[in-house]
Every structure is written in C-alpha cells, then in structure tokens.
Copies of this chain bind each other. A is one copy, B any other.
Amino acid sequence: MVRAAVIPKPNRAVEVRGFARPTLEEGAALLRVTYSEVCGTDVYLQQGLLAETPYPLIPGHAVVGEIEEVRGDVRDVYGEQLREGERATFLDVHGTCGKCWYCLVAKATTRCPSRKVYGITCAADDGLLGGWSEYVYLKPGVRIIRLPDSLSSETVIGGGCGLPTALHAIDRADISLADTVLVQGTGPVGLSAIALARLRGPYTVIAIGAPENRLEAARRMGADVILDVEKTTLAEREAAVLDATQGRRVDVAIEASGNPAAVGEGLDLVRDDGTYVIVGQYTDHGPVEINPHTQINKKHLDIRGVWGIDYSHLHRALLIQERYNDQFQWERLITHRFRLDEANEALDSVRSGEAVKAVIEPWKRAD
C-alpha cells in the first residue's frame, strides 16, 4: 500500500488514505517522494476556491524525490535515459497537447485546454498524481529533471513552485540594469522574485510584506528596502518608495502578494511609463477598483499578467539554483516540516503565514 494525504472535498480535513502501488505503463516512472511543498494554492484547494478542481485529490505540485522505477524509454530534455536511484524533480504541468490553436498558433501553451497539473487538477481516482504521497506516478510525457550532485533536495524544494513562477514573472518584467524594482509580497513567489530581481542588476529592490520571519528572508534574498505591510500605512509605504526612488516611484513592480488590494497600491507605486507585473492573483477574490485614467492611461503604463509556467521556467530555475544557491540559500526558506498525517497542521502553518515555507516528508514517521 502507498500512503497519501487526500482532500476529500472542499472544506474538509485532509486525511491519509492507502492506495495500491501502481503498475507502470510504457514510458512511465515512479518517484519516491522526499519532499513535497505546501503551497498557498493547497490552502485554496482545501477551501474549494479554485475552479475546475476534481475531488478527492492528492495535493502537492512541487516535488523532489528519487526515481524508484522506470518502464522503458524515459528521457530528460538532453535525451538521457533516467535510471532508478537518481534524484529528480518534474514539471507538474503536463498533458499540454502540442496540437491545438493555443499551442501551435498563439504559442500560449499555459492556456492549452488539455493542460493538467499534478496536485491541482488531477483526481485521486486517476492515480498517485500529487506529491503528498509516498510515491508519485509520473505519466509518459511528464518532463522529469535529474538533479545534479551540487543541488540538494532541500534547495530544490526550498525554491519549490515559487521559484519558476517568479522566474516567469521576472522574464515578463524586463528589468534593465540600474532599475528600481518593487516586489509586493514576501511569500515563496515574492521571495524568489526578490532574489531573481537581485540577479538582474537593479539599483534598488524594495519589498513589501509580512510577517517578520518573511521579512528577514526578504533581506537575505536581497531586498534593500523592506516595508512591513502590517506596521505601515499606505501613505507611509508610498513615502518610503518615493524616498528610495528620488521621488519618481519604481521602474518595475511585481505583484506577488495574492491580495487583490495590492493591485491598486502597485499601480500607484510604479512610475509613469513603468512596468507592472501581476503574478500573485492565483484565485478569484473578487473585483477591486482601479482608475483607468490616472493609474493606466495617463501613466502610459505596461501591465503584464503571468499565468503558470512551462518547462523552460523550471529548467532555468534549477540552473539558477545550481549557479547562485551559495548566494541565496533557498533551503533556508524551509521553516516547517510535516508528516503526511500532519497535513492539516501544515496547511495551518501556511495559511497563517507562520511558515515561510512548509514541506511534507511522506516517509517521515512519528518518533
């Protein structure tokens, strides 16, 4: 039997269930899970806030583990066969068809209608398709990445899904050398966005977030100016941004807070002719008021939404960790570790912001 944590349906406690160990089809692999992330999205899943989600489901879309079994031809992006015993992670996004208008004409693969995501849009009835499980079934075609020795499993799960998402956002942000950059939000996406913004040669990186433990992490990730959203007023934050930018506001702002109210503030804190990237609004919290004259048109602003990731973002995120982890130490973001049977506590730690990053260790046992 394989033990996995399951959300039975919205607003019900997570419970551990037993599943049969799967038989692999040709081209599939089985991953023995070392760590799986507890993400804000998992909180939404448990609260039933995401559209088109099947229940019951096994959460966990960022996973690091060891190849337990491989059936047939299973290769990485360099064409090299994966082998049992190798450490690996994989792209949760799969099933993208490569045949439809969105894939082939718009080249907007993150909007392919066939796209599926491990731990989010896959039902538990369809197999071990989430990371809060002793094993994950990697279907044929899932993109697997072998981890180099220089990259610890803790570092990779410390980056988790937030790092490639932040990388996608930074790609869209087009930060120039010597720009001033604001990151709204100091959760896992925001913290990695701070690190990656730092890697683009900015003059200043400003972070807005909370609570204290995350602001400390923001400092380590490279923020020059840190504003505690819980201890400052809107006016105080505006004054601080003006002060850090010679009165001009920032060249580039990146919303990674998940709070719709951040959007209006972000629009105000970007300078005229600047760029505002919105990456944190992953669930529908309803509408907000914005002023299209003062906040967009007259500002000559660029606003760029960022949805999901594709393989390239994960691939490059791992290269960045390989090269720059000495500087950022993503593994230090992990503040909480839970067993499968502590999944509800894990969700609590993330919902409250108490954890910077929490992980599930499916093979961890109570002493």
Contact = CB atoms under 8 A, between A and B. Distances in A.
A283 interface: yes
Interface string A276-309: 0011111111111111111011111111111110
A366 interface: no
Interface residues of A, number: 80
B99 A323 contact: no
A102 interface: yes
Contacts of A202: 323
Given A284-B293, A284-B294, A299-B307, A104 B315 contact: yes
Nearest to A91: B104
A312 interface: yes
Interface string A303-323: 111111011100111011011
A12 interface: no
Interface string A195-220: 01001111110000000000000000
Contact of A171 (B99, B177, B305, B319): B177
A316 B105 contact: yes
B293 A110 contact: no
A91 to B, nearest CB: 9
**Identical chains in the assembly:** 4
Interface stretch (A75-83, A118-126, A332-340): A75-83
A105 B79 CA distance: 13
A325 B57 CA distance: 52
A176 interface: yes
Contacts of A263: 292
Contacts of A290: 287-288, 290
A256 to B, nearest CB: 11
A170 interface: yes
Contacts of A302: 302-305
26 contacts: A102-B273, A104-B310, A105-B315, A105-B316, A106-B271, A106-B272, A107-B312, A111-B300, A177-B316, A200-B200, A200-B201, A201-B320, A202-B323, A203-B319, A203-B320, A255-B292, A281-B297, A285-B293, A288-B289, A289-B289, A296-B305, A300-B305, A300-B307, A301-B304, A302-B304, A303-B303
